């Protein structure tokens, strides 16, 4: 089984992700709070660079925190986790089904599905937790 993660994306993608609909209530609040000092109270469509950078940093921090927790669990159960260029690659000798069963048992399968990149071994759509949809930079991303 092979899983591929891209912990940090191109800057333009990270900046765009901040205002990609639907914007969570948490991010809306974050943007409002960081835009407070600007006289025109910017919204998502016209964020000052400083606010966009701060929000991008928040998203990257959250993603890296989740990914590092997932990878720590996989390292602790003996899976091979390595950095290859800009990617983190996780390998093991398990079949697709057995590997995903381990991820479910470890309680990280939902997190993994939201983070894996194209080229990862993913379960058939009917077996996906959360209805088969991916979030953020999940497996449906073409880059």
CB atoms within 10 A of CB 82: 9
Taking only the tens place, the pLDDT of each residue in 41-50 is 777 778 888 8
Q: Report whether 47 contacts 35 (CB < 8 A).
A: yes
Q: How confident is the model at residue 125 (pLDDT cuts 50, 70, 90)?
A: low
Whole-number percent of the chain with pLDDT over 90: 57
pTM for the model: 0.77
Query: Nearest-5° angle of CA 141, CA 43, CA 56?
Result: 45
Q: Please give the structure tokens belonging to residue 38.
A: 């600007």
Angstrom distance (rounded) from CA 72 to CA 64: 12
Q: What is the mean pLDDT of the chain?
A: 85
- Structural domain boundaries of the chain? 2-132
Residues 67-94 have a mean pLDDT of: 97
């Amino acid at each position: 089984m092979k899983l591929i993660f891209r912990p940090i994306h191109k800057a333009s993608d990270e900046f765009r992700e901040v205002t990609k609909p639907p914007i969570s209530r948490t991010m809306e609040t974050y943007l409002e709070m960081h835009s407070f000092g600007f006289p025109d109270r910017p919204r998502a469509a016209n964020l000052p660079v400083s606010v966009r950078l701060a929000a991008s940093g928040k998203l990257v921090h959250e993603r890296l925190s989740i990914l590092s927790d997932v990878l720590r669990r996989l390292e602790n159960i003996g899976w091979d986790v390595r950095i290859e260029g800009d990617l983190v690659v996780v390998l093991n000798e398990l079949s697709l089904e057995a590997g995903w069963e381990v991820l479910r048992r470890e309680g990280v399968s939902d997190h993994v599905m939201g983070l894996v990149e194209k080229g990862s071994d993913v379960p058939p759509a009917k077996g996906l937790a959360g209805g088969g949809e991916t979030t953020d930079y999940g497996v449906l991303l073409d880059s």
